Structure 1
């Protein structure tokens, strides 16, 4: 059994876990692929070339989630892997809920389902999510999948390794459907022993992945069967992912890409809109003020438009600051929210609303301001959702939230 004993501290723990994985899994996997080069184009590329790895420490398990591209044409010799660390050791049985970011609301009380050792193509909506998916006329029969209905969150049996591949999780609130896509996550059993008052010793069993190297090299990630996805939409989504992955990309580059007619499906599908209008100048009719120009208006199925504002995917500071129980958004995030406040003020005036409707043919009344900023790992699920709830008519989405909402629909 490949069991790693690690002295516990956030930085040293992450480093030791990844060093052990590199020695016993990543490098042997790379060696096998280089000896079988025909597999390089088909294996899950994020296992060796992730954009980011997230480590989630629970009470009895350590989970490693991979973010990044599904395929590659060659293995890079120079890799710079970014790592995020989350401490959910106080969560107990709800580790998976904490990772997903949704609270499950099953009406079946006292029932707990153990997470299987391996599960692929899982669709798991909360009851709120299921209602919204039905409302959106989701096609549940489009692909073979395991679908949870009125399901509580899975619990992870103590001492068990589990792997989730292509898991899609859904929730909903007053803002609409929420999507969380887990491409690949390995959940390792973890045991903790006290060595002193201030020190702990962690033991992590990595045997399951060490023994799956050849399997993972041969594995082909499940992709949607729809031809328009494979040959038309996927290259555009990949290009968008490349843009947001580069620190040299500007806000203007992102909005210009999405303005292009052939790329607007990212907004219509990701935000469940019927129409997109970009960079429309809105002049004040009753006051002498500078005109506003939101990045996008998106028209929803009810005929009314919401406002989308894009900020950079790379935050300059932590998204949340403050001491425990006094957390708040950083000055950076707060300033972004403040910048959109003038949009609400503009559409409070019926003269402005009428002018926009006559000028652009869209109705805007009490618009939701949707701010797209940062990456999923910039926001802790536990903290930022509760803080965001304090802001009226403002919804904050990460770039992963937008992309997940698009990709998930191609599977259905």
Structure 2
């Protein structure tokens, strides 16, 4: 059976299409897993309990992107579903490139038909490859199908296409651009624009009935050993700070998540990392301080790690003729960490902190993570560092390398 929709505005089309998709596919899938509860922890969570559906309309396909958790513990009934939709039916450009948000720059001036099913597809543009390599992104960490100098991927006309766990990268003057797709379906349609007043769009979703049982037993690709569980998370961290639009809070919030804590603990040989603990002054009336991280060592004492942005647009060193010094902006960051050290010089502060948080901080070593390795490529800055007690400047490259190397011992 083919459903025919007269296209005057995009919303009625989207509503009619999703109503059919829920009736034929998403609803039966939910019911099947409900009747077979052993599958709840196996089937993709974003199909069972989707949090958002994004619909893209083109002249050849209606694409649906599913958002939600990869895995769930229980089915939800009557949950709120966010619907977004975009109309590209009047645009002749590649629908796939419109969805991911950038165009491919291959020297091959052709298009590449997407396979009917793609799992772990990793397709950077040439700009993306160069940027990922510059950032030290670990390609061997990904179980994936990779492509180099790839032409524009395109869903084949008249064919259903599904992308699972797709990773797509581009870059510009602002840094790395990342587009990850958990699940994206392209449904073929018939688009008739012969009428000057309205467009006719026909679609047939009956084939999705045959996918219900298969997809209920499908397990979303996830690494099964420690190395391949952790290295992709490092890649995600690189993607985060590699984008110049990422703020300091976004970078530190990523590291503060329990599943990403290992990045700090492995680098600094710590047993635990604590984010943004409030430190109130006990002997002076000063504003409370909140270092980005305390890294707790096995001996029960903690050091301090402070993050600034990786993208530096100024000189790190100023002066000449044996009068070189850190630039004022960098000195202001160092001064901030010096306040942290001053706080723990007061025994009243130390006592209050230990009673509140359960571990000790005394003469902490301060780590300032800022910039890229290329920002500190002069030997002079190391000489300047000798003038600073209990302080170490670490670049984002140093941080990543210090973690990744431990997986290859």
TM-score range, shorter chain: 0.5 to 0.7
Q: For the aligned residues, what is the CA RMSD?
A: 4.3
The alpha-carbon distance between structure 1 residues 135 and 225, as it changes in their structure 2 partners (threshold 3 A), is: farther
Output the CA distance in 1 between the equivalents of 2:36 and 2:70.
18
The alpha-carbon distance between structure 1 residues 210 and 93, as it changes in their structure 2 partners (threshold 3 A), is: farther
Q: Which has the larger radius of gyration?
A: 2
Distance apart, 1:265 and its partner CA: 5.3
With normalisation by structure 2, the TM-score equals 0.60
| Aligned partners of 2:308 and 2:369 also within 8 Å | no
Counterparts of residues 107-256 of structure 1 (less than 5 Å):
107-108=107-108, 110-194=109-193, 197-227=196-226
Aligned length: 291
Q: Which residue of 2 aligns with 1:354?
A: 331
Output the CA distance in 1 between the equivalents of 2:257 and 2:221.
28
Output the CA distance in 2 between the equivalents of 1:131 and 1:105.
12
Q: Deviations over 1:344-381 (max 9, x none)?
A: xxxxxx6555333344375989xxxxxxxxxxxxxxxx
Q: Deviations over 1:245-301 (max 9, x none)?
A: xxxxxxxx9999668485775999xxxxxx999799xxxxxxxxxxxx999843539
The alpha-carbon distance between structure 1 residues 262 and 355, as it changes in their structure 2 partners (threshold 3 A), is: same
| Aligned partners of 1:299 and 1:362 also within 8 Å | no
Distance apart, 1:59 and its partner CA: 1.5
Counterparts of residues 12-411 of structure 1 (less than 5 Å):
12-108=12-108, 110-194=109-193, 197-227=196-226, 260=256, 297-300=307-310, 351=328, 353-360=330-337
Which secondary structure does the structure 2 equivalent of 1:211 belong to? helix
Distance apart, 1:228 and its partner CA: 6.8
The alpha-carbon distance between structure 1 residues 278 and 152, as it changes in their structure 2 partners (threshold 3 A), is: farther
| Aligned partners of 1:264 and 1:276 also within 8 Å | no
| Aligned partners of 1:43 and 1:218 also within 8 Å | yes
| Aligned partners of 2:125 and 2:150 also within 8 Å | yes
Output the CA distance in 2 between the equivalents of 1:32 and 1:304.
59
The alpha-carbon distance between structure 1 residues 120 and 302, as it changes in their structure 2 partners (threshold 3 A), is: same
Q: Deviations over 1:81-101 (max 9, x none)?
A: 110011111333510001011
| Aligned partners of 2:141 and 2:232 also within 8 Å | no
Distance apart, 1:5 and its partner CA: 1.5
Output the CA distance in 1 between the equivalents of 2:369 and 2:212.
55
Which secondary structure does the structure 1 equivalent of 2:140 belong to? coil
| Aligned partners of 1:121 and 1:168 also within 8 Å | yes
The alpha-carbon distance between structure 1 residues 51 and 137, as it changes in their structure 2 partners (threshold 3 A), is: same
Contiguous gaps of at least 5 residues in structure 2: 237-248, 265-272, 279-289, 293-305, 316-326, 338-366, 372-406
Output the CA distance in 1 between the equivalents of 2:311 and 2:162.
37
| Aligned partners of 1:93 and 1:155 also within 8 Å | no
Output the CA distance in 1 between the equivalents of 2:191 and 2:257.
54
| Aligned partners of 2:58 and 2:91 also within 8 Å | yes
The alpha-carbon distance between structure 1 residues 85 and 256, as it changes in their structure 2 partners (threshold 3 A), is: same
Distance apart, 1:76 and its partner CA: 1.2
Distance apart, 1:211 and its partner CA: 1.6
Distance apart, 1:177 and its partner CA: 2.1
Output the CA distance in 2 between the equivalents of 1:213 and 1:267.
39
The alpha-carbon distance between structure 1 residues 58 and 265, as it changes in their structure 2 partners (threshold 3 A), is: farther
With normalisation by structure 1, the TM-score equals 0.60
Q: Deviations over 1:29-70 (max 9, x none)?
A: 122112211111110111131111000001211100001101
Q: Deviations over 1:101-157 (max 9, x none)?
A: 12110012x322111111111000000111112223333233432111000111222
